[in-house]
Structure 1
């Protein structure tokens, strides 16, 4: 039998994680990284898994989505979490790392396999793929234009590849004040409509506009000279065109009646369900450049959103990603090219750990395919499985980048006397049970792995 070889494009967290999983499965790996020969506008070094922004990999608490994801990835023998545990620095309940040592640990871990080779070169073309090999593209949100053109050729519709993405906030439905915010669809008086509606009177609208104008905005990077799409303008840009623009745009109150007054509100924010369970809602048309603390402050001024909790804040930034549900098969390979896989942030996930998680799954899926097998993907009741399901099936709204959050998990029915913290704890406990069952399935197959438990920062040292 000829030696199997897997080529991985991109030495970020997803690419390194995919490489680790493939090497552990006995394959030769060629990891292509164009840095430092060709730099991106965001990176500063040629190091593998360079952390461009924060050095934090978010919370370690077991009853949080980031904590659950770490636990699951640790159980799947994640290199990124091994490196994070080895290079952790004090950060309270968060997992933060020493950047340069983190990158060095990852390089040395991969180089410990004789079948690993790092190639310092830009990949501009994806060649035909043989039976004993596969390619994994984990080139990140700053993929170079030649490779973008290659990926575009694998998509049946040129609109499948997105660039400057404008993302609206996603809110926790349970944190909305239902005595103020009402359910209705426009021009439908039957009640219990498809949208949640946040009603504002004239004074509340004017105060909201003033707050948006005064809020601190995120500065764009030098390489983010964004030409906005007219159909996807940030609310700040709309306000610059006139104070009434929002009221005749995303805050248009036409066809709505506030049950508290029996009249049409002066303006209204519509919230659209993001999942079938209705645990998450997005603010329709509310792309924003406000800094995250400012979003929390300003949007909490809206009636009925005083105590709202955010699953994701809005943003406007340079971020190339595919509309993955339209182009990827269930094993994260392209439908049009079954031996070319996609991994990391370019699939439509947000965050360091999330990107590495998809790299982990892509690495295992590619390893299985070159061996004539199929990797058993995790179920949706787990956090890693929920992320996987999101990028392969999508949600109810437009497909936009998503981070790990409990809103992706199936909800629990409300019980009298049980508060939200208790329900979240039960939701996380159920997720751990589902993952344990999945672990048992894998442990009895050729896709065995090292099963861990709740995330432990000392594991892997």
Structure 2
């Protein structure tokens, strides 16, 4: 009988790692500190809680994250199976009912006979084989133990979550349902602003009072989770070319694109909650209500959750980890999730898949096959372990880190489609070996 593997953390990466181990006949002891202790970002005791957005982003194969999702589906990912079973309409994106999704993952994990769930905080690195997927909000005691183990400074960045409002409180007389360029079904509620309304909103946003965050500096904010107020301070039109971009969203009342548009995305299957897309923030709660209520469609909005700012930490992975997320100085230890510097829900699940599958195969006397830079899951693992990366920062999956085709293809979409086809052909071969 193989040794029991300890997995620390029941987030997306930890649950995926535990599932891949158990699916290969390895016993797992999964530690989760909730409900005994919660991080500042968590609101429930369910596993795989989505603390920021409920979107897993694009589901199209011409988008790198769409490719990564399809690879994980074909490889038997728990996270993707639960996400697909609890999706809500979001045009070309895969968005989920966050409560139902987390409940599904929790139920699958707890009902697996090879997985033992242990509640309570882990304060030191466990003995034996271990996958540490404690997340970017790792508790202070475990953080100190990891820091001592790796023998170097952990890096820091800060993450922000967007507010959520009730659907019934949105003024639909001042909003309209549509998806950009008419792509897919009209799953987003669009809140248009005139030039005067945008001017008022922008000035209020850039001068609003922020909640105190110890050690926060604008330069430490990862671009993918830039607080909206920090982004707005970069220039008057920054939001209009970013999250409030109106192009391709004509107002049916005028037939023209408005000056700016805030999009709201469904946050649950019932359609009773919507989140403010791209509006991650760490403004004081009262300020959030005041500023976002200046948007006409949200003038009477009921906020069920305000945006929050919290510390995220990640390893200098190129100096520490290999392409299977194993600690080079002590390969019995693997890391997974955002702590490794992968950024995003799907990327976290992908790292958990590799860490779990590689550990299981080693215990079974086998070797994890090289995933390669020509697959999304492999390219991500190779990027975080690339020692030539000097100034390491968290990374979303993107076609730029995948192996080029080696020949020219006319058109970006066509090129990306061919890269995806090549990757999936390889995944279909690899899945027989993993």
Alignment TM-score > 0.5, same fold: yes
Task: Find 2:145's aligned residue among 144, 147, 150.
Answer: 150
Match of 1:436 in 2: 425
Alignment of 1:292-371 (within 5 A): 294=232, 297-298=237-238, 318-371=311-364
| Deviation larger for 99-108 or 353-362 | 99-108
Gaps of 5+ in 2: 161-198, 242-246, 248-277, 282-308
Q: State how 1:27-426 maps to structure 2 within 5 Å.
A: 27-129=26-128, 134-158=129-153, 161-165=154-158, 216=205, 225-228=213-216, 232=219, 289-290=227-228, 294=232, 297-298=237-238, 318-393=311-386, 396=389, 398-411=391-404, 418=410, 422-426=411-415
What SS does structure 1 have at the residue aligned with 2:84? helix
1:134-161 superposed Cα distances (whole Å, 9 cap, x missing partner):
1100011100011011111221323xx1
Offset of residue 415 of structure 1: 5.4
Q: Distance in 2 between matches of 1:313 and 1:65?
A: 23
Task: Evaluate the alpha carbon distance shift between residue 233 and residue 388 of structure 1 in structure 2; reply closer, same or farther with a 3 A threshold.
Answer: closer
Cα 1:127–1:90 change in 2 (3 A) is: closer
* Residue pair 2:159, 2:311 contacting (<8 A) in 1 also: no
Q: Give the drift of 1:429.
A: 1.6
Which has the greater radius of gyration?
Answer: 1
| 1:215–1:290 contact (8 Å) kept in structure 2 | no
Moved more, 115-124 or 393-402: 393-402
1:9 aligns with 2:8: yes
Q: 1:16 to 1:407 in 2, by over 3 A?
A: same
Q: Mind listing any 5+ residue stretches in structure 1 that lack a counterpart?
A: 168-209, 235-281, 302-306, 448-461
Cα pair distance change 1:65/1:434, threshold 3 Å: closer
Q: CA RMSD in A?
A: 3.7
TM-score normalised to structure 2 length: 0.68
Cα displacement string for residues 190-246 of structure 1 (whole angstroms, at most 9, x for unaligned residues)? xxxxxxxxxxxxxxxxxxxx9xx9594699996x6132579x578xxxxxxxxxxxx
- Aligned-partner Cα distance in 1 for 2:348–2:206: 26
CA distance in 2, matches of 1:221, 1:357: 34
Q: Distance in 1 between matches of 2:207 and 2:405?
A: 36
Q: Deviations over 1:149-194 (max 9, x none)?
A: 1111221323xx1123599xxxxxxxxxxxxxxxxxxxxxxxxxxx
Distance 1:300 1:47, change over 3 A: closer
| Distance verdict in 2 for CA 1:379–1:98, change over 3 Å | same
CA gap of 1:65–1:216, structure 2 versus 1, over 3 A, is farther
CA distance in 1, matches of 2:388, 2:58: 25
Q: How many pairs align?
A: 333
SS in 2 for 1:373: coil
Which whole-Å CA distance do the structure 2 matches of 1:162 and 1:328 have between them? Answer: 15
Measure the CA separation in 1 of the matches of 2:387 and 2:64: 19
| Cα distance in 2 for residues equivalent to 1:110 and 1:157 | 34
* Cα 1:56–1:165 shift into 2, 3 Å: closer
SS in structure 1 of the partner of residue 135 of structure 2: coil
Work out the CA distance in 2 between the residues paired with 1:142 and 1:49. Answer: 14
Rounded Cα–Cα distance in structure 1 between residues aligned with 2:207 and 2:4: 43
Change (3 A) 1:356 1:31: same
Q: Which moved more, 1:77-86 or 1:104-113?
A: 104-113
Give 1:431 shift.
3.4
After TM superposition, the score normalised by the length of structure 1 is 0.64
